[in-house]
Structure 1
Amino acid sequence: MGCYCTKETIEINGRRFYVQKRLGEGGFSVVDLVEDETGKTFAMKRILCHATEDEQMARQEAEFHQNFNHTNLIPLEEWKMLKYSGRVPEVVLVLPYYRGGTLQDEVERLAKQGEHMSEQRLMRIFKGICEGVRALHSASPEPLSHRDMKPGNVMLDDRGTPVIMDFGSMAVAKIEIKGRSQAVALQDTAAEKCSMLFRAPELFHVESHCIIDEKVDIWSLGCVLYTLAFLQSPFEPVYQRGDSLHLAVLGRNFKFPENSRYSEGLHDLVSSMLVVEPMERPSISWVMDRVDNLLQDLENRV
């Protein structure tokens, strides 16, 4: 352990954490690398709470973490609401620090080096992600939806196991929209918290009378699987051209590369999830059955 005399110190439940450096910044929070008194490192997410609503949402994020003890969902080490004199209060979440980075980091590394994942490794990673999503969709007393599934929100631990993080967009899965004001509110929230390239079509334009449910995650998973295979979102070319992403999503305006090295089964699985009508998308259990079948086929070829 180094000298902590000049480090910012944050005490939570009798434990002291020393801020080492800034790891990243987002629209609603920052993440610092911290170290406890034993020298163990963690990632500390610091959520600034400018209003009571911000505080409620941050507390809810911490509570969502506490609902789970799952290999593929990031655990919460500690959390606390911090109030200061003359400064905006913040909720801090102490989380594991994964040196392997995110799946997005892995995608960018592969693209830079002109490499690709083997289909077997890709499907094993995707299965782990689906395991985490299934835990959310099976949550009690009410199923939950992540709503921002993307490679940048999946960490890789030391063994290469995928771990879903960032519960800030998470919500009760099934929401009944009754009227235009509720629709606009959800649409605005989605625009703020759900990444465009992975956002389900029903969140681009929320109908005045509809039901939004966990199928938003299934669409996002389709985008994630495509990205792991082809190292970009299925709608990245449209976005790069500056064309309407919303129209591209509604029209399922994507295609598989002609020189794809992956099986027809993987292509079919992506296509089955990228269905515009939510009711026609499969459940996470159906997706996992298909993943297991694909993995079995791959192992039988070895």
Structure 2
Amino acid sequence: MGCFCGKESLSVDGRRFFIKQRLGEGGFSYVDLVEDAQTHKTYALKRIVCHSKEEEQVALQEVKIMREINHPNVIPLECYSMHEVNYQSKALDITCELFLVIPVYKKGTLQDRIDTLRLKGEQYSEDQIWTLMMGICKGVKALHDHKPPFAHRDLKPDNVMTEEDGTPVVMDLGSAAVARVEIKTARDASSLQDLAAERCSMLYRAPELFTVETNSSVDERTDIWSLGCVLYALAFLESPFESPYQRGDSLALATMAAKITFPENSGYSKKIPDTISWMLKPKAEERPFIDQVIERIHSIQHEEENRV
């Protein structure tokens, strides 16, 4: 299997892994390709760097959700461990690192595939779009069905991996949280709005997370908005709010207005724009819940099967 002499290794939950290469990094974490020293199987190792006790709690929330959700369309957790920092790191105000070992998906993300299609001047077939959406929605349903319900809050093509057989897998639960929140004070509103600005991607963020109002509430239908944007991206290869974003317009205002334009002569049936418009309601209470979305997609797929 080759010699790993001199290669960096680390221990996670009593298992030894060798670091092979850096796969990527985000605002709060790094991802490395690692190999299990015993089985030689490869995994992704997500390192979450925490700078405070509050960040530690957020990181541990991700672990908690991954351990409690067991579904083929949600990324599983192989093992994890928390590591206190050494003396030198404390100069950087780092309190700890959390190591999460997760599967490697060689086919990459849906965003990778969307980028490839755009470069080639191609698009998904309508059947492929509904199949992908059904899988993503089933993963989201697993989060929403938890007691209490969890919301992902950062659903986007970048956060959906694909298995070798094309099965979509919802990943990156670092933004996930208890879905139903009562906003009773200005401080509650400010706190949630700041958290959303930090962790929820603008192009897929629900309007109620751009401007959080006092004496209001949010629930899991923040994810339904994001799913509507994901459906648009699968069909038209970009977020429905890409144009106002590129112009430098206010995305908060653009989402509140929810004036969605659909490309002409896309080759798709009216079911795609109709379903997107049904999900992208600026008022959360007018949006469907995940079970209704799944039922609608199932009905569309059933119609298509009968037509064939």
The one of 279, 288, 297 equivalent to 1:282 is 288
CA distance in 2, matches of 1:39, 1:155: 22
- Counterparts of 1:5-84 in structure 2, within 5 Å, are 5-37=5-37, 38-84=39-85
Instruction: Tell me if structure 1 keeps the 8 A contact 2:180–2:219.
Output: yes
What's 2:2 paired with?
Answer: 2
**CA-CA distance at 1:3 after TM superposition:** 2.2
Q: Which deviates the most, 80-89 or 66-75?
A: 80-89
**Are positions 1:250 and 2:251 aligned together?**
no
Matched, 1:115 2:122: yes
1:198–1:220 CA contact under 8 A, matched in 2? yes
Of 146, 154, 161, 1:148 maps to 154
| Residues 20, 35 of structure 1: 8 Å contact kept | yes
Map 1:177-196 onto structure 2 (within 5 A): 177-196=183-202
2:113 to 99, 106, 131: 106
Residues 61, 177 of structure 2: 8 Å contact kept: no
What's 2:231 paired with? 225
Distance, in Å, in 1 between the alignment partners of 2:276 and 2:181 is 25
Q: Distance in 2 between matches of 1:68 and 1:244?
A: 36
Post-superposition Cα deviations, 1:172-204, rounded to whole Å, max 9, x if no partner, equal: 010001111110110000001000000000000
Distance in 2 (CA, whole Å) between partners of 1:42 and 1:150 is: 23
1:210 is matched with 216
The structural deviation recorded for 1:22 is 0.8
Secondary structure of the 1:73 match is: coil
TM-score, scaled relative to structure 2:
0.96
Q: Distance in 2 between matches of 1:296 and 1:266?
A: 15
Q: Is the counterpart of residue 167 in structure 1 residue 160 in structure 2?
A: no
TM-score by length of 1: 0.98
Aligned length: 301
Contact 1:266/1:294 (CA < 8 Å) preserved in 2?
Answer: no
- Say which SS state the counterpart of residue 65 (structure 2) adopts: helix
Q: Deviations over 1:199-231 (max 9, x none)?
A: 000000000111010010000000000000000
Letter in 1 for 2:53: T
- Distance in 1 between residues matched to 2:227 and 2:146, nearest whole Å: 18
Question: Which residue of the partner structure matches residue 86 of structure 2?
Answer: 85
Contact 1:147 1:169 in 2 (8 A): yes
Query: 5+ unaligned residues in a row in structure 1: which ranges?
Result: none
Which 4+ residue blocks in structure 1 deviate beyond 3 angstroms? none
The sequence identity of aligned pairs, in percent, is 54
Deviation at 1:2, TM superposition (A): 3.0
- In 2, the alpha carbon distance for the partners of 1:172 and 1:165 equals 17
1:14 Cα deviation from its structure 2 partner: 2.1
Gaps of 5+ in 2: none
Partner of 2:307 in structure 1? Answer: 301
Question: Whole-Å Cα distance in 1 between the matches of residues 164 and 152 of structure 2?
Answer: 24
Residue aligning to 2:279: 273
Offset of 1:300 from its aligned partner? 2.6
RMSD across aligned positions (CA): 0.9
Change (3 A) 1:2 1:301: farther
Matches within 5 A, 1:122-141: 122-140=129-147
Q: Is 13-22 or 230-239 further displaced after alignment?
A: 13-22
Distance 1:160 1:148 in 2: 21
CA distance, structure 2, for counterparts of residue 245 and residue 47 of structure 1: 29
1:103 CA displacement:
0.4
Q: Letter of the aligned partner of 2:78 in structure 1? A: E
Match of 1:42, SS state, is: strand
- Cα offset, 1:125, TM superposition: 0.6
